[in-house]
Every structure is written in structure tokens, then in C-alpha cells.
Amino acid sequence: MTETSGGTHLPGSFRIKHLANQLFGWSPNQPSAAQPPDIPHQRVVHLAVLDTFAVPILLLNAQRVVVEANLAAHELFGARLVNHDLAHSLRHPAALDAASAAIAEGRQSTTPITLLTPVTSYYELHALPVPPDRDAKVRAALILQDVTAAHHVEQMRADFVANVSHELRSPLAALTGFIETLKGPAKDDVAARARFLDIMEVEAHRMGRLIDDLLSLSRVEAKEHLRPKKPVDIAGLLARSRDVLGPRAAERGIPIELDCPPVLPQVAGDADQLYEVFHNLLDNALKYGPSGQPVTIRAQMVERIPEIGGQGLRVCVHNSGDPIAPEHLPRLTERFYRVDKARSRDIGGTGLGLAIVKHIVNRHRGRLSIESSAENGTSFCIYLAEFPKESAPVTQL
């Protein structure tokens, strides 16, 4: 439990105190003589005001029984909240201690608590003592501030750092091991040296790719709020992706089929970033699709972009082969998420490609949809808004 006192706290605590002043017309530190008279009408008004707040608020009497609770509190704890001991609804020892201390000792406190039902949520429980008023009923107020979103952000940050360290550690360990071997036991072994240097080259490239991807991701994130608005020729970008990855496709015997109408409107966007999107999607199709089976890139106009609205383009990259199981689909764009970690890592994947795709598409206020089934194979489709008509030149292939 973290104790708080006086007025020198975090802005959150300050707001809560301010809220208490607004709601009850007193400060927890004021002497009781300064309290406004408790008249029924005022009480009704106070309760109506309490209901307008989205934060759960509970008022307790001297026996720790909940005497009033606002709508948000009822939503969180259910209907059988009022007229029962707080422990009836909130089985959390630290929270109960905080409430008891506010009532018995007039101690104000802020306590982090976790509620497991209906879904795991994180709160800061602010316990405010209430000096006895005329009917001496309310002795403490509890305000639960939901900090779940901030908690998740912090968790994601910690996971991200752990993932990056883990991903860098394995190639680094391989490099360190080979350097030691080359300096010691394999010092004069020419054949071993050549073999080890090849492996070291692969590992060093893996580290380089990971760092490039991380930088790319952070660049995209930094600009995500700025929607790019330059006219972009999608057909040209698709042809460039096909040409750049052509040799890799040929190695696996995969023909790349580009199906693009001769006249295609331009989209509003950032050409370099959109190229990165198509390059990543095509790279995946070539890596995870079966060898010898074609990969298709299909671009077409759509009258209405699903869920977003407005005219635009749809570009789908399709490969056949084993489908991606449905439980993985919503997670594919998470950083470092790989369906088959070992396989993806063996073929040089860092698990950041689709995270980059998602952020670029978000920046363009576009849409990414993924479909995968045994009958139809796997398709990653991107929807992008058309460049505004009045100034849009048309690309002829």
C-alpha cells in the first residue's frame, strides 16, 4: 500500500482529491465544523452527481458497510453491493485494510489492486476518510481508478525489451563462440575456419536484419499520426517488389503472377513505406508458401473499402499451401509473433515484418485483412484510399 498525505502527489491523486472536493463539498483534511449541513435534497443531488462519474465510487459507514455506490461501482461489483460489508464485494486484503484505515484512523491512501473478474483489470484504489457529519453515516469514500491500459503499455514495453534482448542474444552467442574457437582450437584449421566464417556471416546478417527491422518499426511508429498524402503509383511498386524478389522466387521454383488492371488510380500515401508493405507480404508468401506453386499479387479497384468506406484499391498477395490456424490470425501482426518460431528463424525471419506492415497501413488509415483456409490458401489483403480525384493523375501500364 502506498500512503499519501497533504497535497503534493501525482497528478492522478490530485485529480481524485479535487473530485472529492467537487463531489462532497469538503476536503478530507478540513475540520468537521466546516462541513456543509447534510440535508436530504443535497444528498440526492450528490448521488445523482456520483452516477455521472465513470469511475466506481463507494461510500462506507463506520462498520465498513457500503451505504452508497454509483452506477459504475454497481457495474463492476454487481447489484448486491449496498448494505453489505465491503468484503462481500471486494475480497482484496490490501483494499479492505485501506478502507478500514480510512474509517478508523482517518488515513488517506492509494493502493494498487488487481481484480480477476470478469477479466483481469488493474486499479488504483483511493481511500479517502470522511469526517463525521451530522448523521455520522458516511466515514470513507473509495474511488477505483482503472489503470489497466497503462499497465498493458508497461507490460508491452517490458516484453519488447525482453524479446529484443533474446533475439539478439542467440546470434551474438554464436559469434562469440566461433571467435573463441577460431582463436583457440581451430586456429590452424583452414577448412574449419572457412566453415565457421560462413556461419558467422549468416549470424551477423541476422543481427543486422533485426536492427534494420527495429529501426524501420520505430520510424513508422514515430510518424504514425501523420497521414501521408502524396500520390503513389501502386502498379510500379508491385512490379518493383516482383523484380527484386524474382531471383529468390526462382530459387524455390515459384512463379510470381502479377495481376494488375491496365488503368489503376493512384493512392494517397508514402511510396517507400508502401513498397516495404508489398515487399514484406511477397517475401512471406515466398518463404511460407510451398515451393513450385505460384504466388499471386492481385490489385483491383474497390467502390467501398470495408469498415472504412470511400473508394480505393485492394492489393492481395496470395500463396497456396497449409493454412494458418485461425487462433494465430489475430496475433500475426504482434511484434516477434511467429507461428512456427524455429522454422521462421531458420529461414531468417525476425517476426517483425507484419508488425511493420500493420503500422504502415494504420498510418495510411488503410486496412489489412488476412484469410487462410485449406481450400483457398492464404491471402494478405491491403486496402488503401484513392488519391483525391480532382488532382489524381491516372497511371497507364
What is the separation of C-alpha 164 from the centre of its chain, rounded to a whole number of angstroms?
17
Asked if residue 89 binds ligand ATP (CB under 6 A), the reply is no
Choose the one of ligand ATP, Mg ion, none that binds residue 110, judging by a C-beta under 5 to 8 angstroms depending on kind: none
- Identity of residue 103: I
Choose the one of ligand ATP, Mg ion, none that binds residue 378, judging by a C-beta under 5 to 8 angstroms depending on kind: ligand ATP
Measured between alpha carbons, how far is residue 309 from residues 42, 227, 313, 383 in Å? 49, 17, 12, 10
> What does the alpha-carbon distance between residue 173 and residue 51 come to, in Å, rounded to a whole number?
58
Note whether 81 and 144 are within 8 A (CB).
no
> What does the alpha-carbon distance between residue 205 and residue 199 come to, in Å, rounded to a whole number?
10
Note whether 306 and 367 are within 8 A (CB).
yes
CB of 17 or CB of 206, closer to ligand ATP: 206
Residue 352 C-beta: closest distance to ligand ATP, Å: 4
Contact letters for Mg ion, residues 332-361 (x by CB under 5 A):
---------------------x--------
Q: Which of 284, 319, 372, 379 binds Mg ion (CB under 5 A)?
A: 284
CB of 144 or CB of 381, closer to ligand ATP: 381
As given in the structure block, the three cell numbers for residue 354 are 507484419
- The residues in 341-380 that bind ligand ATP, with binding defined as CB under 6 A, are 344, 349-355, 378
Residue 371 C-beta: closest distance to Mg ion, Å: 17
Which of 109, 125, 143, 85 minimizes the C-alpha distance to 9? 109
Residue 259 C-beta: closest distance to ligand ATP, Å: 17
Residue 320 C-beta: closest distance to ligand ATP, Å: 10
Choose the one of Mg ion, ligand ATP, none that binds residue 383, judging by a C-beta under 5 to 8 angstroms depending on kind: none
- The residues in 303-342 that bind ligand ATP, with binding defined as CB under 6 A, are 319, 324, 332, 337-340
CB of 4 or CB of 280, closer to ligand ATP: 280
List of E strands, the chain: 2-3, 57-60, 66-69, 109-115, 121-129, 140-146, 230-232, 256-259, 263-265, 267-269, 295-302, 312-319, 367-373, 377-385, 394-396
Residue 355 C-beta: closest distance to ligand ATP, Å: 6
CB of 129 or CB of 349, closer to Mg ion: 349
Residue 154 C-beta: closest distance to ligand ATP, Å: 23
Which of 244, 156, 160, 252 minimizes the C-alpha distance to 210? 160
Measured between alpha carbons, how far is residue 356 from residues 87, 170, 222, 337, 372 in Å? 47, 23, 12, 12, 20
| Phi, psi dihedrals of residue 208, rounded to the nearest 5° | -60, -45
Note whether 268 and 386 are within 8 A (CB).
yes
Interface with Mg ion (CB under 5 A), residue total 2
Residue 337 C-beta: closest distance to ligand ATP, Å: 6
Residue sitting closest to ligand ATP (CB): 353
The sheet that has 140-146: what strands, in order across it? 2-3, 109-115, 121-129, 140-146, 57-60, 66-69
Choose the one of Mg ion, ligand ATP, none that binds residue 338, judging by a C-beta under 5 to 8 angstroms depending on kind: ligand ATP
Choose the one of Mg ion, ligand ATP, none that binds residue 379, judging by a C-beta under 5 to 8 angstroms depending on kind: none
- The residues in 191-210 that bind ligand ATP, with binding defined as CB under 6 A, are none
Which of 185, 231, 239 minimizes the C-alpha distance to 394? 231
Q: Which of 141, 234, 267, 285 binds ligand ATP (CB under 6 A)?
A: 285
CB of 61 or CB of 284, closer to Mg ion: 284
Asked if residue 282 binds ligand ATP (CB under 6 A), the reply is no
Choose the one of Mg ion, ligand ATP, none that binds residue 351, judging by a C-beta under 5 to 8 angstroms depending on kind: ligand ATP
Residue 332 C-beta: closest distance to ligand ATP, Å: 5
Asked if residue 111 binds ligand ATP (CB under 6 A), the reply is no
What is the separation of C-alpha 320 from the centre of its chain, rounded to a whole number of angstroms?
30
> What does the alpha-carbon distance between residue 273 and residue 182 come to, in Å, rounded to a whole number?
41
Helix axes 190-222, 148-183, angle to 10 degrees: 160
As given in the structure block, the three cell numbers for residue 280 are 514484406
Residue 381 C-beta: closest distance to Mg ion, Å: 16
To the nearest 10°, report the CA torsion of 22, 23, 28, 32: 110
List contacts with ligand ATP (CB under 6 A).
213, 280, 284-285, 288, 319, 324, 332, 337-340, 344, 349-355, 378
List contacts with Mg ion (CB under 5 A).
284, 353
